[in-house]
Structure 1
Amino acid sequence: MAGKGFRGRLGNAAGAFTSNARNPNLRRAQLSFLGAWTAEWAFTVGLGIVAYRDGGATAVGLVGLLRMAPSAMLTPLLSPLADKGRRERVLILVSVLRGVATGAAAVVVGVGGPLQIVYVLAVLSTIAATLYRPAHSALLPSLCHNGYELASANVVRGLLDAAATLMGPLLAALLLQFTSVTVVFAVAAGASLWAAALLLRLNYDAPPRPSAPRETNWTRSAVEGIRVVSRNRDLALIMGLAAAQSFTRGALTVLTVVVAIELLGTGEPGVGILTAAIGAGAVLGSLAASLLVGTRRLGAWFAVGVALWGLPVTLIGVFPQQVAALGLLACVGVGNSLIDLGGFTLLARLAADEVLARVFGVLESLVALSIGVGALVASLVVDGAGVRPALVTVGLLCPVLAVASWRRLRGMDRSIGVRDDDIDLLHRVAMLNVLPLPAIEQLARGLEPVVVPAGHVVFLQGDVGDRYFVIESGEADVIGDGQVVATLGPGMGFGEIALLRRIRRTATVRATSELRLKALRSDHFLPVVLGYTPSAREAGVVVDSMLDRFTPRDDPEQPPQ
Structure 2
Amino acid sequence: MRAGGILTPRRGLQTGWALTTTGRLFVPVALLVLAYQRGGTGALAATSVALAFIGAVVSVVVGRLGDRTHLAHVLMGVVCLAAASLVVSMIAAVLEWPLLVCLAAGTMACGLLATYRPLQASLFPWLVHTPRDLASANVAAIGIESAASLIGPLLAGVALLTTTPDRALGVGAACVLLALLPVAAVRLPESYGHRERDSTQRGSFLAGLFVLFRLARGGAFPALAGVQTFARGALNVLLVLLVLEDLRVSEDTVGWLWAAMGVGGLAGAALGSRILRVARLLRSFAGGVFLWGVGLLVLAAGSSPATAAMGMFVIGVANAIEDPGLFTSVPRLAPKEMAAQALGAVEIVVCVGMALGSAAAPGLAAAIDVRPAIFAIGVGVILVALLYWPSLSRMDRATVVTDASTSLLAEVEVFEPLPLVVVEHLATRLTRNDYAPGEVVVREGDAGDTLHVISAGRAAVSVAGSPRPELGPHDVFGEIALLRDTPRTATVTAADDLTTYTLHRTDFLTAIQGDCAPVETLASARLRRDGVLDP
TM-score by length of 1: 0.68
Q: Which of 141, 152, 155 is the matching residue for 2:139?
A: 152
Alignment match, 1:162: 149
Q: How does 1:150-549 map to 2 (within 5 A)?
A: 152-153=139-140, 155-174=142-161, 178-202=162-186, 214=199, 224=204, 227=207, 230-231=210-211, 241-289=224-272, 300-339=283-322, 341-343=324-326, 363-403=346-386, 404=388, 406-407=392-393, 410=396, 448-452=431-435, 458=439, 470=452, 472-475=454-457, 489-492=472-475, 500=488, 509=494, 511=496, 515-518=498-501, 532-535=525-528
C-alpha distance 459-127 of structure 1, shift in aligned 2 (>3 A) = closer
SS in 2 for 1:535: coil
CA distance in structure 2 between the partners assigned to 1:272 and 1:57 by the alignment: 18
How far 1:337 sits from its partner (Å)? 3.2
Which piece of structure 1 moves more, 373-382 or 238-247? 238-247
C-alpha separation between the residues in 2 aligned to 1:538 and 1:457?
A: 25
- Per the TM alignment, residue 227 of structure 1 is displaced from its structure 2 partner at its CA by 4.2
Q: How many Å separate the matches in 1 of 2:338 and 2:193? A: 13
1:41–1:165: 8 Å Cα contact kept in structure 2? yes
Amino acid at match of 1:279: G
Residues 204 and 341 in structure 2, CA contact (< 8 A), matched pair in contact too: yes
Distance in 2 separating the partners of 1:416 and 1:151: 25
User: 1:475 corresponds to which letter in structure 2?
Assistant: G
| Partner of residue 50, structure 1 | 34
**1:166-188 CA distance string (max 9 Å, x none):** 324313322xxx43223111221
Give the C-alpha shift of residue 289 in structure 1.
4.9
- Alpha-carbon distance in 2 for matches of 1:169, 1:77: 29
Relative distance call for 1:530 and 1:318 in structure 2 (3 A) is closer
> In 2 relative to 1, CA 103–519 (structure 1 residues): closer, same or farther, beyond 3 Å?
closer
Indicate if the aligned counterparts of 1:378 and 1:394 stay in contact, CA closer than 8 A. Answer: no
* Separation of aligned partners in 2, 1:156 and 1:185: 25
CA radius of gyration, larger in: 1
Answer whether contact 1:256 1:275 (CA < 8 A) is retained: no
Instruction: Deviation per CA, 1:12-42: give whole Å up to 9, x if none.
Output: xxxxxxxxxx996665444323322332333
Letter in 2 for 1:159: S
Q: Which amino acid aligns with 2:527?
A: P
Which of 77, 80, 95 matches 2:79? Answer: 95
Cα distance in 1 for partners of 2:131, 2:47 equals 42
Give the 3-state SS of the residue equivalent to 2:131 in structure 1.
coil
State how 1:38-77 maps to structure 2 within 5 Å. 38-77=22-61
Note closer, same or farther for the CA distance 1:457–1:145 as it changes in structure 2 (3 Å cut): closer
Q: Structure 1 residues 452, 124: CA separation in 2 closer, same or farther (over 3 Å shift)? A: closer
Contact 1:209 1:353 in 2 (8 A): no
Matched residues in 1 for 2:461 and 2:372: separation? 77
What is the CA–CA distance in structure 1 between the aligned matches of 2:186 and 2:336, rounded to whole Å?
19
Which structure is higher in helix share?
1
- 1:131 partner amino acid: T
The C-alpha deviation readout for 1:400-453, integer Å capped at 9, x for no partner, is 45452644884798679898667558758xxx999xxxxx99x99996423357
Read off the aligned partner of 2:131 and give its amino acid letter.
Answer: H
The root-mean-square deviation of aligned C-alpha atoms, in Å, is 5.3
State the 1:312 CA deviation: 0.8
Deviations 1:230-278 (A, max 9, x none): 4466699766644443322211111111111222121433333333322
1:312–1:332 CA contact under 8 A, matched in 2: yes
Q: Secondary structure at the match of 1:533?
A: coil
- C-alpha contact 1:289 1:338 (8 A) present in aligned 2: yes
Shift of residue 226, structure 1, vs aligned partner: 5.8
Cα distance in 1 for residues equivalent to 2:75 and 2:100: 27
Q: Report the Cα offset of residue 327 of structure 1.
A: 1.0
C-alpha displacement of 1:519: 6.0
AA aligned to 1:162 is S
What do residues 202-250 of structure 1 show as CA deviations (whole Å, max 9, x unaligned)? Answer: 35779999966648xxxx75x6566456446669976664444332221
The answer to whether the 8 Å contact 2:196/2:521 transfers is no
Q: Once the 2 structures are TM-superposed, how far is the Cα of residue 87 of structure 1 from its aligned partner?
A: 4.7
Asked if the contact 1:279/1:330 (under 8 Å) is kept, the reply is yes
The percentage of counterpart residues that share the same residue type is 21
What is the CA-CA distance between 1:156 and the residue it aligns to?
Answer: 0.8
| CA contact 1:141–1:150 (8 Å) conserved in 2 | no
Q: What is residue 547 of structure 1 aligned with on the other side?
A: none
Residue 420 of structure 2: aligned partner: none
- Asked whether the 8 Å contact 2:297–2:311 carries over to 1, the reply is no
Q: Is the 8 A contact 2:156 2:252 kept in 1?
A: no
Q: CA deviation at 1:321?
A: 3.5
* CA 1:510–1:318: 2 relative to 1, 3 Å: same
Q: Show structure 2 runs of 5+ residues with no match.
A: 1-5, 418-422, 480-486, 508-519
279-288 or 381-390, larger mean C-alpha shift:
279-288
Aligned CA distance change for structure 1 residues 386 and 118 (closer, same or farther; 3 Å): same
Deviations 1:152-202 (A, max 9, x none): 33541342232234324313322xxx4322311122111112223322223
Matched-pair contact (CA < 8 Å) for 1:110–1:182: yes
**The residue matched to 2:499 in structure 1 has which SS?**
strand
CA distance in 2, matches of 1:376, 1:416: 46
